[in-house]
Amino acid sequence: MVKPQGFFMKELILASTSPYRRDLLKRLGLPFNCVPSQVDEEVYKDKILDPTELTQTLAFEKARSVADLHPNAIVIGGDQVSLFQGKILGKPHTIESANQQLSMLQGKTHQLVTATCVLGPNIKEAWVEIITLKMRPLDPEEIKRYVEKDSPLDCAGSYKIEQLGISLFQEIDCFDQNAIIGLPLIKLSEILRGQGLQCP
C-alpha cells in the first residue's frame, strides 16, 4: 500500500505481553506492537497497599518503561486487581487455588480495579475503572467443572468472563465490559482518535 505524501502513522505499542489485552486492542483495527515492560511489580505491591493507587502506579510505570525506549511512540500500559472484602486476590496459578477463590466468591459481590495509562510525545492520560460483579451461588461440583473447562489459572478471581466465566455471574455493573478483561476500549479509542489514529 502506498501512503499519501506527508502521511505519518504514529507507532502504537502495548506495554504488555498479555494475550487478553492484545486480543482486545486488535478489535480497534490499528497496527501495534507488544513490548513487555521491565517493571518489577512485586516492589510496588510491597510498598503500595491501596488497590486503586497500586493499579494506577503500575499502569503508568509499565507504560513509562517502554516509552523511555520508544520516545516517538504512543504507549499503552495497564494493570488490574481483583478485590474481595477489601483484599487483593492474586492469580490462582493452581487448580486448587482457583477452586478456593471461586468457593470464596460464589454468591457474593467483588470488584475489579482496571487502570490504564497512555503516554506519548504529546499525551499523558491515565484513568481507573471499577467494576462490581455479583457471582451466583455455586456448588463445589459446578466450580470444579468450570475450572476444568476454562482453566482460569492466570486470571485474578479465577474466571475468564470472555469465555465460560460469564455463566458464573448474576450481575455486572460497569461502564465498559472490556475493562473486565483488562483494557477499556471505549475511552481508549477516543484518546487514540484524538492522537490521529483512526479506529475504525
Catalytic residues: 79
Class of residue 177 by CB neighbours under 10 A (exposed 0-12, middle 13-18, buried 19+): middle
As a whole number of angstroms, the distance between CA 150 and CA 50 comes to: 30
| 34 CB-side CA count, 13 A | 13
Q: Are 109 and 56 in contact (CB under 8 A)?
A: no
Q: Cα-flanking dihedrals φ and ψ of residue 115, to 5°? A: -110, 140
Torsion of CA 169, 170, 175, 180, to 10 degrees: -10
Q: Are 180 and 155 in contact (CB under 8 A)?
A: no
Give the strand pairing for 169-173 and 109-120: unpaired
- Round to whole Å and give the CA distance between 124 and 118: 6
Q: Which three cell numbers stand for residue 61?
A: 510505570
